Amino acid sequence: MTISDAAPIVSTRFSLEDGHTLDRYLATGGYEGLKAALAKSPTAVGDEVKAATLLGRGGAGFPAGTKWGFCPPGVWPRYLVVNGDESEPGTYKDRLLMEKDPHQLIEGVLIACYAIGAAQAFLYVRGEMALAQERIAQALNDAYAAGYIGKDILGSEYSVDIVLHWGAGAYIVGEETALIESLEGNRGMPRLKPPFFPAAKGLYLQPTVVNNVETLANLPWIMTNGATAFTSLGTEKAPGTRLFAVSGHVKNPGVFEVEYGVTTFRDLIYAPVYCGGIRDGNELKAFIPGGGSAPWFLPEHVDMPLDPSVVSPGGSMLGSGAIVVMDDTTDMVRACWRLVRFYARESCGKCTPCREGTSWLEKILTRLLAGEGRRGDLDLLLDVVDNISPAPFPRGASEAGGFGAVPFPYKKTTICDLGPSVGSPIVSALLHFRDEFEAYISDDVPVDVRVGQPTEVAGV
């Protein structure tokens, strides 16, 4: 096993009782990254972040520096929107960053706005996270009073406002264009890309950078220690560290900051310093490597490193840094149903394949679980998925199944990725555990055909 001894970057204050206060933040190197940034030109800061290859931590893993560069020149104002809507099943890291170290996030926002030329930032926190909202509000108030935010920051010409905004309960608002709609006061429904790439036409149709909380939390460290120190951690294509929440059937679930690419799934699941193995001496049956939307992996995949350039061709994604572990007591049909129900509940309803498809899938699985499954149901499930995400659907290789991997990402007939995400639990569970589904099907169940009396329609 490889246990990296690299010092953490973003979680250094997690164990402090008062890591969220300005005093403790300043006593532990706080706002030094901002000062380092202000000593450089905005372009130089942008170049440094580009050189660091800071991959987005929100799900898609796009390099932040490159994304910033997509804002069209000469179009003002520009905005920064912070995505703190964390709600992907299994994901727990942005809330920790907001509750335990809000100033680190604020400092990251200040560095990003300076480089991008954003004159106003909106920090969108998930509605259900009351403590995170309180901690950020307090941190913003203190940072304003101390001159770190607002007009002429630290005596420079740099001025920016950070406005705390919060949601009201809707998973889809985590999708960046839905987040923008929500911030404009509308129903949180995604916009079509193109033309509505936020960098070009975002908030109020102005150039807008949307970044995840963890992405931005890395910036103070990068400014203080430099891109070279950052790229010396992790791998060439995925430098630095990342927070992973490991939940489910492990002995010690937890959130761990580990080096990209160096650490493997096996390390996280089995090493005593991380999760210490499967609970009750049970066997690993399957795991979800990157949040509810990611295709599942099998025990034969545990030696993959936590590196997107291995996991994506391997058929899944690191997504939001959420690893959900299932042991051999797990009913895969039920696990699949629970995730499918999530997508059915959270579909925003804008596109037909997703709106109708997700709820059909849920209904089919519900009847299967009720012991009323029909022979054709398994093909029907795959057929509905195919209408949302045309085959071949991404999957991990399987020795027992005798098939290879289909690389990530999925194709889609929908506006956003919520639709195709529903295929992950279905295709994964059906491919690898088809016999469990078949056990729910009984040939004896008669198809329920009710021939009603012809309805009398008034006036006919």
Partner 1 sequence: MARFTADRTILAREIIGRYPRPKSALIPLLHLAQEQDGYVAQDAMEHIAELVDVTPAEVLGTCSFYEMFKLEPVGEYLVNVCTNISCMLLGGEELLHHVEGKLGIKSGSTTPDGTFTIEDVECIAACTEAPCLQVNYRYFYKVTPEAADALIDDLRHGRRAHEVPKHGILARTRQQLPQDKRAGNAVPGIAEEPVWLRTAEA
Ligand X SMILES: Cc1cc2nc3c(=O)[nH]c(=O)nc-3n(C[C@H](O)[C@H](O)[C@H](O)COP(=O)(O)O)c2cc1C
Residue 224 parent element (H or E): helix 219-225
Residues in the interface with ligand X (CB under 6 A) total 23
Q: Coil, strand or helix: which one is 445?
A: coil
Distance, CA of 7 to CA of 225 (rounded, Å): 12
Taking the CA atoms of 193, 194, 198 and 203 in sequence, report the sign of the dihedral they define. Answer: negative
What is the footprint of ligand X within residues 37-56 (CB under 6 A)?
56
**Alpha helices per DSSP H over 187-319:** 213-217, 219-225, 227-231, 265-270, 308-311
Q: Which does 212 bind (CB under 5 to 8 A by kind): ligand X, partner 1, ligand FES, none?
A: ligand X
Give the residue, chosen from 33, 46, 59, 394, that forms a contact with ligand X under the rule CB under 6 A: 59
Q: Which does 89 bind (CB under 5 to 8 A by kind): ligand SF4, ligand FES, ligand X, none?
A: ligand FES
Residues in the interface with ligand SF4 (CB under 6 A) total 14
Query: Contact between 253 and ligand FES (CB under 6 A)?
Result: no
**Neighbouring C-beta atoms of residue 177, cutoff 10 Å:** 22
What is the footprint of ligand X within residues 309-338 (CB under 6 A)?
none
| CB of 338 vs ligand FES, minimal distance in Å | 9
Residues forming a β-bridge with 216:
none
Closer residue to ligand X (CB): 264 or 347:
347
Closer residue to ligand SF4 (CB): 109 or 418:
418
Query: Contact between 175 and ligand X (CB under 6 A)?
Result: yes
Question: Is the separation of the CB atoms in 199 and 207 below 8 Å?
Answer: yes
Question: Is the separation of the CB atoms in 322 and 247 below 8 Å?
Answer: yes
Hey, what amino acid is at 415?
I
Query: Contact between 89 and ligand FES (CB under 6 A)?
Result: yes
Distance, CA of 40 to CA of 140 (rounded, Å): 24
Question: Is the separation of the CB atoms in 93 and 321 below 8 Å?
Answer: yes
Give the residue, chosen from 83, 264, 312, 347, that forms a contact with ligand X under the rule CB under 6 A: 83
Q: Coil, strand or helix: which one is 211?
A: strand
Query: Contact between 172 and ligand X (CB under 6 A)?
Result: yes
Q: One symbol per residue from 152 to 181: x for binding ligand SF4 (CB under 6 A), - otherwise; what is it? A: --------------------x---------
Whole-Å CA distances, 256 to 182, 212, 273: 31, 18, 10
| CB of 106 vs ligand X, minimal distance in Å | 16
Query: Contact between 57 and ligand X (CB under 6 A)?
Result: yes
CA 405 to chain centre: 22
Give the residue, chosen from 174, 321, 353, 396, that forms a contact with ligand X under the rule CB under 6 A: 174
Whole-Å CA distances, 295 to 149, 290, 340, 405, 408: 42, 8, 13, 11, 9
Residues sharing a CB contact under 8 Å with residue 40, sequence separation 6 or more, in sequence order: 48
Residue 318 parent element (H or E): none
> Quick one: which segment of 46-54, 393-401, 409-417, 425-433 binds ligand SF4 (CB under 6 A)?
409-417
Assigned token pair, 387: 């209408």
Query: Contact between 174 and ligand FES (CB under 6 A)?
Result: no
Distance, CA of 239 to CA of 56 (rounded, Å): 11
Give the residue, chosen from 20, 22, 52, 86, that forms a contact with ligand X under the rule CB under 6 A: 86
Closer residue to partner 1 (CB): 318 or 335:
335
Closer residue to ligand SF4 (CB): 123 or 210:
210
What is the footprint of ligand SF4 within residues 349-408 (CB under 6 A)?
349-351, 354-355
Query: Contact between 87 and ligand X (CB under 6 A)?
Result: yes
Distance, CA of 368 to CA of 249 (rounded, Å): 25
| CB of 413 vs ligand SF4, minimal distance in Å | 9
| CB of 74 vs ligand SF4, minimal distance in Å | 31
Q: Which does 248 bind (CB under 5 to 8 A by kind): ligand FES, partner 1, ligand X, none?
A: partner 1
| CB of 54 vs ligand X, minimal distance in Å | 8
Q: What is the CA radius of gyration of the chain?
A: 24
Q: One symbol per residue from 318 to 357: x for binding ligand SF4 (CB under 6 A), - otherwise; what is it? A: -----------------------------xxxxx--xx--
Query: Contact between 425 and ligand FES (CB under 6 A)?
Result: no
**Neighbouring C-beta atoms of residue 239, cutoff 10 Å:** 24
Question: Which position has the token pair 């029907």?
Answer: 380
Residues forming a β-bridge with 82:
123, 211
Q: Which does 414 bind (CB under 5 to 8 A by kind): ligand SF4, ligand X, partner 1, none?
A: ligand SF4
- Phi, psi of 337, rounded to the nearest 5 degrees: -55, -40
| CB of 289 vs ligand X, minimal distance in Å | 16
Nearest of 134, 132, 135, 152 to residue 144 by alpha carbon = 152
How are beta strands 78-84 and 161-166 bridged, if at all? Answer: unpaired
Query: Contact between 419 and ligand SF4 (CB under 6 A)?
Result: yes
Query: Contact between 418 and ligand X (CB under 6 A)?
Result: yes
What are the residues binding ligand SF4 (CB under 6 A)? 172, 190, 347-351, 354-355, 414-416, 418-419
What are the residues binding ligand X (CB under 6 A)? 56-60, 62, 64, 83, 85-88, 172, 174-176, 210-212, 215, 416-418
